[in-house]
Structure 1
């Protein structure tokens, strides 16, 4: 890619980022795929890419708002629920975008997730069902092992989750949400003003993909 192409791509992504900066706090969805968690996830990556703390501050403000608005009636799902939010936090901690005691940060969410019996889940999909829940649980257990901390999920829950996944024919290792989310391509003809703001088919996903392709 020549210098002019690089300049055009930078200008395009900066326009998308400016749009996200202005609009991100208007999003009501707290989740990973379509909401504030996914946008915060992008801003942390962009802050590191640009070496610009302003975007890190923006991401942290979104995280604070998410924690303020989490409520008991939220679903446990990956798409719009607790598992997506927790996966985002877990991954940001693992990649050193965030710091702190992982158990303290995630313990309330982990306990909420364990309140739902995996053996009673009949939706096995990634976005709204068992596979997405299991993706977070596996990521969280791996982080606990890395941090040499106690497993946040008790043996009864983990056994029930794996038993249910086995019955559903799910693979032994769950995929990352980033392998499921639809991240569109950025080009000069992309009408990003009419895209949703989140990761899944939206501006945050488009911009994140552009950083790493």
Structure 2
């Protein structure tokens, strides 16, 4: 990449970051893929990459806002619901972006997730169904084992979930949020200010993909 292209790339990314900084307050979706959790996830990575605490503070404020606005009627899903939010928080704790006691932070969410009977689930999809729940629970259990803390889900729930996953033939491989987002495809005419703001197909996903794969913006 020549100097001119590098300048162009830098300007594009700065526009994305500035756009996210200004526009994130008008995002009402709390979720991981299209909402505030995904934007916070990006800002934590960006703060570490740039060694700029301002964005870490911004991300922390978003996490607080998310936790303050959780409610009983939220879906138990990866895309817009509790599993996605909890998966994002658990991943940030695991990667030392966040400090805190995972049990204290996630206990209420984990109990809400256990209210959904996996043996009766028809939707097997990742975004809105069984696979997404399995993805979070697996991550949460692995983190509890690493931290040598008690299992956050009871044995009956884990048994039912594992049986449902086996019956559905779902993958057992662990993944991270970085593995499942689909950043937007860019070309010379793309107007980034018209993209969604979130991780999946939006500005946060575009910038996060760049900082984890710097060849991404070489169009």
TM-score normalised by length of structure 1: 0.96
1:180 aligns with 2:201: no
1:136-163 superposed Cα distances (whole Å, 9 cap, x missing partner): 0001111111111111011111110010
Report deviation, 1:120: 1.0
Q: Which residue of 2 aligns with 1:150?
A: 150
**Alpha carbons 1:134, 1:174 under 8 Å: kept:** no
Q: In the TM superposition, what is the alpha-carbon distance from 1:188 to its structure 2 partner? A: 4.8
Helix, strand or coil at the partner of 1:184 = coil
Partner of 1:39: 39
- 1:76-115 equivalence runs, <5 A: 76-115=76-115
Q: Is the Cα–Cα contact under 8 Å of residues 183 and 209 in structure 1 kept in the other structure?
A: yes
Partner of residue 132, structure 1: 132
CA separation in 2, counterparts of 1:105 and 1:73? 19
Stretches of 4+ aligned residues off by more than 3 angstroms: 174-177, 185-189
Question: What is the total number of aligned residue pairs between the two structures?
Answer: 213
How far apart in 1 are the matches of 2:6 and 2:151?
Answer: 45
Deviation of 1:177 (Å): 3.6
Distance 1:103 1:82 in 2: 15
TM-score, structure 2 as length reference: 0.93
How much does 1:2 deviate? 3.0
Q: Can you give the 5+ residue segments of structure 2 that lack an aligned partner in the other structure?
A: 214-219
Aligned counterparts of 1:161 and 1:211: Cα–Cα separation in 2? 35
CA RMSD of aligned residues (A): 1.3
Distance 1:176 1:48 in 2: 18
Q: Does the Cα contact within 8 Å between 1:76 and 1:82 map onto a contact in 2?
A: yes
- The range that moved more, 53-62 or 178-187, is 178-187
Q: CA deviation at 1:118?
A: 0.7
Structure 1 residue 115, shift from structure 2 partner: 1.0
Structure-2 residue corresponding to 1:69: 69
Alignment pair present for 1:18 and 2:12 = no
- Displacement, 1:6? 2.3
Question: Which runs of 5 or more structure 1 residues have no equivalent in the other structure?
Answer: none
1:124 aligns to what SS in structure 2?
Answer: coil
